[in-house]
Amino acid sequence: MSMSSEEVFDKVRASLVDALGVDDDEVTPEATLVGDLGAESIDFLDIVFKLEKSFGITIPREELSPEDILTNSQYVQDGLVTPEGMQVLKQRMPWANLSKFEQNPRVQDFGNLLTVGDMCNYVASKI
Amino acid sequence: MRWFWIDRFTEFVSGSHARGIKNVTLDQEVVDEYCPGFPFFPSTLIIEGIAQLGGILVAEHFDWDKRVVLAKIGNAKFHRQATPGDRMDYWVRLEGTQEHGARVTATSQIDGQPHAEIDLMFAFLEAGRFAEGSLFHSGDLAEMLRIMKLFDCGIGRDGQPLGVSDKL
């Protein structure tokens, strides 16, 4: 499927507006799903359903939520993702901008990492 | 009060769709007392009835292994009120499933006319979180579904009549 980045953004935005009840203008590429748009854990399942339907893709849970990495003592020490863990995260989520998280990689902050732009990049990598 | 918000399954095709009916009568407390002097069936309980229909559709699709709970009401439009004497015909379609949840779309009609349009999302309670084990006492769900005549009309994934699972 060929789709411009604007078309991807428009469809992602529509899914987020529908799932989260936010206004169109709140959904900017820089907005974080949790902090800025108020997504709760159950909303992510709803967002996944809406993106799958809108783009005709399948979204495995582990691709958007790398809990297996973040709960693995091999990759996390004292609540911080290790350099090795960061490498694994980058391999798993090449579409996400992890540069800010990498500066202080506290596991507890990971939940507020994803932005609308990250979601667009993710979807674009699937179509 | 028994928490039955559909009266009867009328069609059930595993993994696809289900139909059920709910009658509205004036002797029901929720109809008579919800808005005194103006009896109608509360919209919230229409959503609950459709969630029961859809939740069974989802749970059966996963071979009764998931603890299915209503997680989110994505959309709920009501075109009219259901008043005493009405029969609501519910129709639910399984739209999508994930490892941790499922989504259905549903409609309700009265006398063949649109009554409601509802989209629901279900989540599955994870093992080890919240309560352990089934959400029902052993045999209770099977008895409820028998009363609702699910096994009189249900079609399983193999195309054969839906049997009573040992897991119920």
What pLDDT does residue A68 have? 87
Cβ distance of B100 and A61 shorter than 8 Å = yes
Beta strands in chain A (DSSP E): 76-77, 80-81
Residue A42: how many other CB atoms lie within 10 Å = 14
First to last CA, chain A: 6
Cβ distance of A18 and B74 shorter than 8 Å = yes
The architecture CATH gives domain A5-126? Orthogonal Bundle (1.10)
Closest-CA residue to B16 (of B93, B103, B78, B128): B93
Name the region of A67 (left: φ>0; alpha: ψ -120 to 50; beta: rest): alpha
Nearest Cα residue in chain A from B75: A18
Cβ distance of B123 and A52 shorter than 8 Å = no
Query: What's the pLDDT tens digit per position in A40-94?
Result: 888 999 999 999 999 999 998 778 888 889 989 999 999 999 999 999 999 999 9
Residue from the list A18, A43, A53 with its beta carbon closest to the beta carbon of B96: A53
In a domain, B76, yes or no: yes
In a domain, B160, yes or no: no
A102-106: long-range contacts at Cβ-Cβ below 8 A with a sequence spacing of 24 or more? A105/A80, A105/A81, A106/A79, A106/A80
In a domain, B99, yes or no: yes
Q: Can you name the residues that pair with B155 across neighbouring β-strands?
A: B13, B161
Q: Name the residue range of residue B89's domain.
A: 8-155
Query: What's the pLDDT tens digit per position in B127-153?
Result: 776 667 777 777 889 999 999 999 999
What pLDDT does residue B131 have? 66
B28 alpha-carbon distance from chain centroid: 19
The total number of structural domains in chain B stands at 1
Mutate to test the interface with A, among B69, B95, B121, B125 (most CBs of A within 10 A): B121
Q: Please tell me the pTM assigned to this model.
A: 0.87
Rounded Cα gap, residues B9 and B162, in angstroms: 12
In a domain, B53, yes or no: yes
Name the region of B128 (left: φ>0; alpha: ψ -120 to 50; beta: rest): left
Cβ distance of A42 and B123 shorter than 8 Å = yes
Residue A35, pLDDT above cutoff 80 = yes
Whether the Cβ atoms of residue A72 and residue A87 lie closer than 8 Å to each other:
no
What pLDDT does residue B84 have? 97
Rounded Cα gap, residues B150 and B90, in angstroms: 14
Closest-CA residue to A88 (of A76, A77, A106): A76
Band of the pLDDT at B1, cuts 50, 70, 90?
A: low
Rounded Cα gap, residues B100 and B108, in angstroms: 27
Name the region of B74 (left: φ>0; alpha: ψ -120 to 50; beta: rest): alpha
Closest-CA residue to A76 (of A85, A63, A68): A85
Q: Which amino acid is at B45?
A: L
Q: Which two tokens stand for residue A6?
A: 């604007």
Residue B79, pLDDT above cutoff 60 = yes
Cβ distance of B123 and A48 shorter than 8 Å = no
Q: Can you name the residues that pair with B97 across neighbouring β-strands?
A: B102
Instruction: Label residue A30 exposed, middle or buried (CB < 10 Å: 0-12, 13-18, 19+).
Output: exposed
Q: From the CA of A8, how many Å to the nearest CA of chain B? A: 21
In a domain, B117, yes or no: yes
ipTM: 0.78
In a domain, B3, yes or no: no
What pLDDT does residue B155 have? 97
Residue A19, pLDDT above cutoff 90 = yes
* CATH number of the domain that residue B34 is part of: 3.10.129.10
- Domain boundaries defined on chain A: 5-126
Q: Which two tokens stand for residue B120?
A: 């629901």
Q: From the CA of B146, how many Å to the nearest CA of chain A? A: 32
Cβ distance of A42 and B74 shorter than 8 Å = no
What pLDDT does residue B39 have? 96
Q: From the CA of A48, how many Å to the nearest CA of chain B? A: 9
